[in-house]
Amino acid sequence: MLAIFQKQVAHAPQELNSPRNGTAKPKNPDQILRDFHAAHPEDAFSTSFGGGAALACVAAQPRSLSGYQRMFCGLDDIYCVFMGTLNNLSSLMRQYGLTGRSTNEALLVIEAYRTLRDRGPYPADQVVKDLSGSFAFVVFDSKSGAVFAAQSTDGGVPLHWGVAADGSVVICDDRAAVKAGCGKSHAPFPAGCMFHSEGGLKSFEHPMNRIKAMPRVDSEGVMCGANFRVDAFTKITSMPRVGSATNWAATWDDAAI
C-alpha cells in the first residue's frame, strides 16, 4: 500500500522532517510512485486525484504470502486502502446498518468515516477504538480533500510514513519504500493513533493524552525523523464531544501534537 498527499492536501508533523538527509536524498512523489510500480510490476495498481493525491496498492494476495489482507475500494468519492482484519466486522455491520449488503473491512471503514464526516454522534477516537482487530488503513475523501489514517493498537500490520522532497506526506506498509523515497525523514506510524489532514496526529487509545515526538537517530548517528508516543504526563485540557451540530474534524485540534 502507498498513499501520497501533497502539502495542499495534508501536512506531516514537523518533527517527521529530518534536519539533514546526507546521501539519502528524498524523492519527488512521481518517482516514489514509479518505484512502487517497478517493485510490483505484475500486480500493482494506482489512482491519482486532481489536487495532489495518489493511492496505490498491490493486488490481493493469499494471507500465507502477505500475512494480512489487502483491500482497496471506493464509494461515493471516498476511497480506502485497508490492510488486516476486523474481528468484529459482523457486529459493526449491524451497528452501521449494513446488514444484507456485501461488505468488507474497507467498505466498513468508509461507512465509519462517512458517519464521522456527516457529524455523527460519536467522537472520532471512539469510532476507531470500536474497530477490533489488527489493521492499518488510509482513507481519502476526494470531494472534501480530507485524509484519515490509523493503525491498530497492536501494531500487527506494518505502517510507515515520511516526507517526500516536495513536502508531501508518504504513507506505506513497506519500510524500505518509505526510506528510499523520503531519505532520513521517515518513521514508523505510531500504533494506536490516527491522523487527520485537518487535525494532525492523535491517539485513539488514550485520547486524553497528547502525543510526544521522540527524536530518532540511525546507525550513523544522524537524526532520522521522529517516533511518536503518548505522553502519559500531559493531559489535554478539554475533549469536546462531537454532537450532531458540530464538525467532528474541528474538535480534533485540541488533541493534536
- What are 11-69's pLDDT values in tens digits? 999 999 987 666 678 999 999 999 999 999 989 999 999 889 999 999 866 554 557 88
CA–CA dist 226, 95 (Å, integer): 37
* CA dihedral sign of residues 9, 13, 18, 24: negative
Taken as a whole, the chain contains a residue count of 257
Q: Decide if 157 contacts 135 (C-beta within 8 A).
A: yes
| Residue 21 pLDDT | 60
Mean pLDDT, to the nearest integer, of 155-171? 96
| CATH level 3 topology of 2-255 | Glutamine Phosphoribosylpyrophosphate, subunit 1, domain 1 (3.60.20)
Domain ranges of the chain: 2-255
pLDDT for residue 252: 57
pLDDT for position 140: 97
Note the pLDDT of residue 216: 84
Strand partners, 148: 139, 196
